[in-house]
Structure 1
Amino acid sequence: MNYNKFLLFGDSLTEFAFNSWMEEGKPDQFVLGAALCNAYTRRMDIVQRGFSGFNSRWGLKVLPGILESECGIVVSTIAFGSNDLCLGGHQKVPEEEFVSNIKKMILLLKAKDIKPILVGPALIDQERFEASRQEEVQKGYVRTPERFKLYSELLHKVADEEDVPMVDLNVAFQREGGDKWQELLSDGLHYSGSGYKIFFDELMATIRKFYPEYAPEKMQRKLPEWRNVLEDGSNVL
């Protein structure tokens, strides 16, 4: 009954992956974490390790402990950038260090034969996001669309150099959202259910293309179907 594990590792966009109520006053919405649990049920466990507000610098310090405490991880996302790209404040991580941090995370995963998947920052509705965060803005925690594009491009470069796949949410949100891309964001930065649905679809497409052995339909389900179980259960295991 040992299950392989799929690690979701990143910032708040990972921490909220199981939050079905991202927008107050609206019904429950699509949930990335639950969708992955459903896709991999009886095949692989989903382990969520998301840390709101964290950047790649802090994530790099956390990852070794996660890998020591969680056995059986075979696939892992690395989803940082939306905090690193701040123009100021202590979340900011300069471009060169950001690239270095991500590369070090990839090496940590590869050293344990874990398949990495980079996830880039999506989009920001700057005016909407900053409206309720003026105190943070005044301290320099400013995020711009240009910075989202830049850090997404940095991750593309890392993916190419390290030969790992990347989920490009910056491009996917623009493509799928069109003129209504703001609806993919719950508060201007964090994703709505529609945004997480795009994340899920892009992630599954990436797995099927680059790590097909871990596509749900390619993995064997644990234990026989109930119709094939003998009454006394003698063939369960």
Structure 2
Amino acid sequence: MALCEAASGRSSLLWPRVLLFGDSITQFSFQQGGWGASLADKLVRKCDVLNRGFSGYNTRWAKIILPRLISKGNSPDSPVAVTIFFGANDSALKALEGRPSCPHLTSDGMEAQPGPACSPGRWLRDTWLLLSTAQARGHRADKAPGPEPQSAAWRAGPAAPCPRFYENPKQHVPLAEYAENLSSMVRYLRSAGVPGSRLVLIAPPPLCEDAWEQECRLQGSKLNRLNSVVGEYAGACVQVARDCGIDVLDLWTLMQEDTQDFSAYLSDGLHLSPKGNEFLFSHLWPLIEKKVSSLPLLLPYWRDVAEAKPELSLLGDGDH
């Protein structure tokens, strides 16, 4: 009883926290061999690593829920490190105003090839309009706009979108909004007492389109992402980190360095494989380590516990 009373008179032992905030790639990170699990193992008895990953979420939703995860105020349990890892869902395809439904166009809309099952009439009509508009504005187009609107090809076929692709407006977030959402979350965390020195932005990994298309088909859907588009979002993430003066891990670039085959890093074309989890952790740990290197091992090593009166060791400040 005396020991319990002595313990109750002591303040609770504060356990530092590392918070992982992201989408499914974060949510799944505590699976066997996951990068989050590896981080938790590395920081055992120093930090609690909290998984706050939400499968399917984008930055629009993340910005809304962040204040529910970390409240403002000088709380003693403010995270010692926070990772923000979004973009894989924000970059889901959504047709832009004035562009054709078939996204075989490159991001600037200048070069295009129809998909194997695209409606010829729809593709020719849309491409003619898009390239004609580009030429009228003085943009470069390497090929002629195509058949005039009066041609038979223009009128041919139903106006159906390319069946290889599936637009995903619910998850899609426009590039500029994605960047602003990331900046907004960084600003909020700073206002909540989490300085920029504790933050790490993680850009989305590259997308293996062939593998992800197969996965989409198994789910009765169609390809809803493109690696080139994911790259634009990764670039925006890196730029936000530079503008905010915080650390960033550019997975999209690192996994494709020297034109290496990155497919082995992905389990289904989008999510990380065991090798991909290992790759992420190996590059993330140096960024996290410098943020937590001064943290002590909590509570004394068992050989150092006083045998006669263990409470003298165990009810101290814990910094042993």
Q: Could you say which structure has the larger radius of gyration?
A: 2
Aligned to 2:189: 109
C-alpha change, 1:102 and 1:126, in structure 2 (3 Å) is: same
What do residues 157-185 of structure 1 show as CA deviations (whole Å, max 9, x unaligned)?
A: 10111111101111222239923x21110
Query: SS in structure 1 opposite 2:299?
Result: coil
Q: How much does 1:194 deviate?
A: 0.8
Query: SS in structure 2 opposite 1:77?
Result: strand
Distance in 2 between residues matched to 1:123 and 1:41, nearest whole Å: 31
TM score, norm. by length of structure 1: 0.86
Letter in 1 for 2:91: L
Aligned to 2:202: 119
Distance in 1 between residues matched to 2:284 and 2:259, nearest whole Å: 17
Aligned to 2:244: 162
Q: How much does 1:5 deviate?
A: 0.6
What do residues 187-211 of structure 1 show as CA deviations (whole Å, max 9, x unaligned)?
A: 1110011101111111112234xxx
Aligned to 2:135: none
Q: How much does 1:149 deviate?
A: 1.2
Query: SS in structure 2 opposite 1:91?
Result: coil
The structure 2 residue matched to 1:224, chosen from 300, 303, 306, is 300
Letter in 1 for 2:287: T
Q: How much does 1:60 deviate?
A: 0.7
Question: How many aligned positions are there?
Answer: 219
C-alpha change, 1:213 and 1:9, in structure 2 (3 Å) is: closer
What do residues 129-155 of structure 1 show as CA deviations (whole Å, max 9, x unaligned)?
A: 111313432xxx621110121111101
Contact map agreement 1:3 1:72 (CA 8 A) in 2: no
C-alpha change, 1:159 and 1:222, in structure 2 (3 Å) is: same
Query: SS in structure 1 opposite 2:60?
Result: helix
Distance in 1 between residues matched to 2:212 and 2:58, nearest whole Å: 18
Aligned to 1:235: 313
User: Which blocks of at least 5 consecutive residues in structure 1 are unaligned?
Assistant: 21-29
| 1:153 counterpart = 2:235 | yes
Q: How much does 1:112 deviate?
A: 2.2
Instruction: Indicate the larger mover: 154-163 or 70-79.
Output: 70-79
| Counterpart mapping for 1:1-237 below 5 A | 1-20=13-32, 30-68=33-71, 71-88=77-94, 89=168, 90-114=170-194, 115-134=198-217, 135-137=220-222, 142-175=224-257, 178-179=260-261, 181-208=262-289, 212-215=290-293, 218-231=294-307, 232-233=309-310, 234-236=312-314, 237=316
User: Which blocks of at least 5 consecutive residues in structure 2 are unaligned?
Assistant: 1-12, 95-167
Query: SS in structure 2 opposite 1:98?
Result: helix
C-alpha change, 1:213 and 1:157, in structure 2 (3 Å) is: closer
Aligned to 1:25: none
Q: How much does 1:37 deviate?
A: 1.2
Letter in 2 for 1:164: I
Higher fraction of helix: 1
Query: SS in structure 1 opposite 2:28?
Result: helix
Letter in 2 for 1:166: V
Query: SS in structure 1 opposite 2:171?
Result: coil
Instruction: Indicate the larger mover: 167-176 or 9-18.
Output: 167-176
Distance in 2 between residues matched to 1:6 and 1:223, nearest whole Å: 19
What do residues 10-53 of structure 1 show as CA deviations (whole Å, max 9, x unaligned)?
A: 00000000122xxxxxxxxx221221111111111101110111
C-alpha change, 1:183 and 1:176, in structure 2 (3 Å) is: farther
Query: SS in structure 2 opposite 1:82?
Result: coil
C-alpha change, 1:213 and 1:60, in structure 2 (3 Å) is: closer
Distance in 1 between residues matched to 2:29 and 2:199, nearest whole Å: 18
Q: Using the aligned pairs only, state the percent identity.
A: 31
